[in-house]
Amino acid sequence: MTATLMDGRALSSKMAEKITADVSRMKAQGKEPTLATILVGDDPSSKVYLGSKHKAAQKTGIASQSHSLPADASEEELVSLIEGLNRDRRVDGILLQLPLPHQFSERKMIERISPEKDVDGLTSTNTGRLFYGQSDLVPCTPKGVMELLHHYKVPIASSSVVIVNRSPLVGKPLYHLLLTEDATVTMCHSKSTDLASTTRRADIVITAVGRRPGFVLTGPMVKDGAVVIDVAMNRVDGKLVGDADFEAVSKKASFITPVPGGVGPMTVIMLMQNTLIAASRQSGLLLSSVVQG
């Protein structure tokens, strides 16, 4: 068996066309969707991630603003910037790039963002809405994973799903999204014992650990025909790789995401979709094709 690659680049390009068309329709009605990003410090990886997000915004016609503060900025400076963007009616979405320098409480700063502009879906208001299955502004990576599963027609209802991650960015939102679609979900983490026996029973394995050396998910840990979603991205000897031993796992799985080119592009395009959703909500110009995905 050789797994079918779940091509996030191709799917994100297809979605970008749809979003671009909706952005054009919104502009024709007098509203320009606008994303504002905030970077505190000069972390090289954060700069690369933000660069890809601004490039995607430009490609889809979404206006973007880039705001930066030095690494030694005070809490008051960051709060002032966030609250100014909250008040700015031209800005529809606010993205606070994580991680923040050590002097900041990330949770405290995230909660300063207006829930209606929280395009990362991380405020307690939006995570609460997700808990009840009522949120459009869902964290971008989990939302991208779900789009891939839907696009490739992977059965979710009644499937056994194992998530190897319990973070607020990936694991916890995914748990609720999958549960809403009637999957049986197991969440594993650093304190879980005998991970291999758990993953071997799963129809779908989603791993997002991102630690090396060594593979988190090896061939013997996956049952024949399983679907494997690799969210992680590690740089080893100058090469980007995920959590899974791709060569071994792809010989057993029915579907697998490549790294790079799988979940990563989906995360970026979901941010564009969330920005458009936020703009439509705040302007009253509902674009059903986007809101419904």
- Measured between alpha carbons, how far is residue 269 from residues 56, 102, 142, 188 in Å? 7, 29, 12, 27
pLDDT band at 218 (very low <50, low <70, confident <90, very high): very high
Name the catalytic one among 92, 97, 136, 245. Answer: 97
Name the catalytic one among 120, 203, 243, 245. Answer: 120
- The neighbouring-strand residues paired with 220 are none
Q: Does 183 reside within a domain? A: yes
92: left (phi over 0), alpha (psi -120 to 50) or beta: alpha
Q: Give the ranges where the chain is alpha helix by DSSP (H).
A: 8-28, 44-60, 75-87, 106-110, 124-131, 140-151, 171-180, 195-199, 246-249, 263-283, 288-291
- Say if pTM beats, i.e. exceeds, 0.85: yes
| 120 in active site | yes
Give, as one character, the DSSP assignment of residue 290. H
pLDDT above 90 covers a percentage of the chain that reads 88
Residues 106, 41 share a domain: yes
Residues 111, 149 share a domain: no
Name the catalytic one among 53, 117, 172, 252. Answer: 53
Provide the domain limits for residue 230: 140-264
Residues 144, 37 share a domain: no
Last-in-domain residue among 118, 153, 186: 118
Residues 176, 82 share a domain: no
Last-in-domain residue among 67, 83, 118: 118
Residues 111, 65 share a domain: yes
Number of domains in the chain: 2
Taking only the tens place, the pLDDT of each residue in 109-143 is: 999 999 999 999 999 999 999 999 888 899 999 99
| 243 in active site | no
Taking only the tens place, the pLDDT of each residue in 230-259 is: 999 888 887 888 999 999 999 999 999 999
CA nearest to 260, candidates 228, 218, 231: 231
Residues 167, 200 share a domain: yes
- The neighbouring-strand residues paired with 21 are none
Q: Which CATH number covers residue 192?
A: 3.40.50.720
| 103 in active site | no
